[in-house]
Chain A
Amino acid sequence: MFALKLSMATSFWATVFNVVFGLFASYVLSRYNFWGRNALIVTISLPTAIPTAVAGFALLLLWGPYGTLGRFLEPHGIQVMFTAGAIILANVFVTFPLAFGVIKPVFDTMSRSLEEASATIGATRWQTFWHVTLPSLRGAIVSGALLTFARAVGEFGSTILVSGNLAGHTQTAPLYIFAKFNEGQIEAANAIAIVLALFSFLIFSVLFFARDWLDVD
């Protein structure tokens, strides 16, 4: 089913982005102090408090063809909204705080002396990050990724606004359910709904039962 495939793909890329930039953001915001740091942390964590429809609408206002930024891109033929890219963007916007909020505390509580020890032993910054810091983050990265993915797969409010809901192009699974329901095709809606429900259930089961393995000592 295209809708399912689209959902999986967009959620996947949103997850990748979240993990990579979540790590980066957590590292910088945890380690370095600068003017406006706390404001930045709050700003990053804010999207979870915003209703998803509002988030989607805001993105449209910004990136849409007549939007604040989008209007500069439109003449060049670059359209951000109403594409699969827009879905990924919306997903990231809404789920980034989840990954960030799981990864940053690990940085905050990580003992600085581990990194210092690695440095005195002779490791470069990259070697230290790879061998010492990352392994301790393993649990947080996996939880962050799973949370992001589960949330992104089920995302509706922002997706419906930024994607344009074009069947076969930008219609994710939740949008598909909504569309079929409106058309009266209940069985089709049901089928996808069940798949989605099982999938989310699966993810959360993993999160729950693997908690000990995911939890860093």
Chain B
Amino acid sequence: MIGVSKRFGKTSVLEDISFDVAEGEALVLLGASGSGKTTILRIIAGLEQPYTGKVILHGRDVTELPARERGVGVIFQAYALFPKMTVEKNIGYGLRIRKRKRKEIRETVNELLSLVQLEEHRKKFPSQLSGGQQQRVAIARTLAYKPEVLLFDEPFGALDTQTRTHLRREIRALLRKVNVPAIFITHDQEEALELGDRVAVINKGHIEQIGTPFEIYNQPATEYVATFLGAANLLDAVVRDSSLEIGNARIPSQLDPVRFREGDSVKIVFRPEDVALSKTDFVRPGQHRIGTAAIEEISFVGAYERLRLQLDQKGREDSRIDDDSFYLTSETPESHQVKSIIATRPKPEASATKLRIGERVVVAITSFTVLPQKEKRNS
């Protein structure tokens, strides 16, 4: 069981970061550039010191220890393989400097070479290897000295998409085999979802949410998490009699009475794939009708069809609701409001029920999360 807790990095690059990683678990730190995730990794590795806080590995407080005494294995973004050493010399480096016997070194190196499937390349130099191969050498190099935790710094950044997907799976399998806890840094949300047992979304130096990929994608705790993880629709709503009022529609929902009270303004968040469209008013169980919309745009994106819809606005006397519906991604600037929502339909459905621009459809949602209108932030 390893626990890491850090608080307040230098010049407030990090604030109050605290998390732990279980044995054999893969935790992903997901965040945009400059969010502080690299700093966290470097602090764990011992390459940087935290302003306050502690780093605890396997129950040992290593905060005061230099990097080389911590027993961490770091896989750097550019792999940092030693250019003048062959693959096997790179892998054996950790044991050589620990003055292990030659036989032990040879056996371990052989084991690792077969683990990462690079036996035929053992005498090659890093410059003669492909990116994916270099990365495997980097991993083998750290496993040689049995580190307590593996730290991956944007490991797939320099690779093309195909290699990336392939390597992701390989590394996941490898990690399960060696059962060492691992922490990954990435800014790619798809990667985070596929790689991590748990994901921590980092924004400007603090953690927005930690949870399983399912949790952070389908139950985002903040607007940032919702929009960072992919396209998100946000609609304003009001709490009324333990349901939510969106425009003229009402959808039932289980709300935490502590967080949400009668009359509160809230936002509901739902993904494009949570939208169900229908030409008739027939609503299936599990779908919550929110209104009608006109189709503005249809695009074909390969595996599915993406539609932009304009929700029909109904006048409201209640001045508390803006009745603005808008579609947000993390790229959308604050002031820009587009009164549309995005929906996607999988290929089978798109082929079965063809829709055209200008048509009116009934819109229902199958899944959503409720967020308070004003989020409390520690600034």
Contact = CB atoms under 8 A, between A and B. Distances in A.
Contacts of B97: 121-124, 127, 131
Nearest to A122: B68
Interface in A79-119: 111, 113-114, 116-119
A54 to B, nearest CB: 42
Given A121-B145, A122-B68, A131 B93 contact: yes
Contacts of B69: 122
Given A123-B68, A132-B82, A217-B83, A117 B98 contact: no
Contacts of A217: 83, 127
Contact of A119 (B66, B84, B127): B66
Interface stretch (B72-80, B249-257, B360-368): B72-80
A138 B74 CA distance: 27
B78 A111 contact: yes
Given A120-B46, A122-B145, A113 B76 contact: yes
A51 interface: no
B141 interface: yes
Interface residues of B, number: 29
A118 B127 CA distance: 18
Contacts of A120: 45-47, 67-68, 70, 72-74, 142
B82 A114 contact: yes
A138 B83 CA distance: 12
B78 A113 contact: yes
A116 B142 contact: no
B94 interface: yes
Contacts of B85: 135
Contacts of A119: 46-47, 66-68
A117 B74 CA distance: 7
Contact of A121 (B83, B93, B127): B93
A51 B83 CA distance: 41
A121 B151 CA distance: 12
A136 interface: yes
A121 B76 contact: no
Nearest to A138: B84
A119 to B, nearest CB: 5
A139 to B, nearest CB: 10
Contacts of A136: 83-84
Interface string B121-148: 0000001000000000000011001000
Most buried by B among A114, A119, A127: A119
Point out which of A117, A127, A131, A132 has the most chain B C-beta atoms below 10 A from its C-beta: A117
Contacts of B78: 111, 113
Interface in B292-319: none
B84 A116 contact: no
Contact of A135 (B46, B68, B84): B84
B116 to A, nearest CB: 17
B68 A113 contact: no
A118 B47 CA distance: 11
A213 B16 CA distance: 51
Interface in A4-56: none
Contacts of B70: 120
Contacts of B94: 121-122
A128 to B, nearest CB: 9
B339 to A, nearest CB: 48
25 contacts: A111-B80, A113-B78, A114-B80, A116-B47, A116-B74, A116-B80, A118-B93, A119-B66, A120-B47, A120-B74, A121-B68, A121-B97, A121-B141, A121-B145, A122-B94, A122-B98, A123-B93, A123-B97, A124-B68, A124-B97, A135-B84, A135-B85, A136-B84, A138-B84, A217-B83
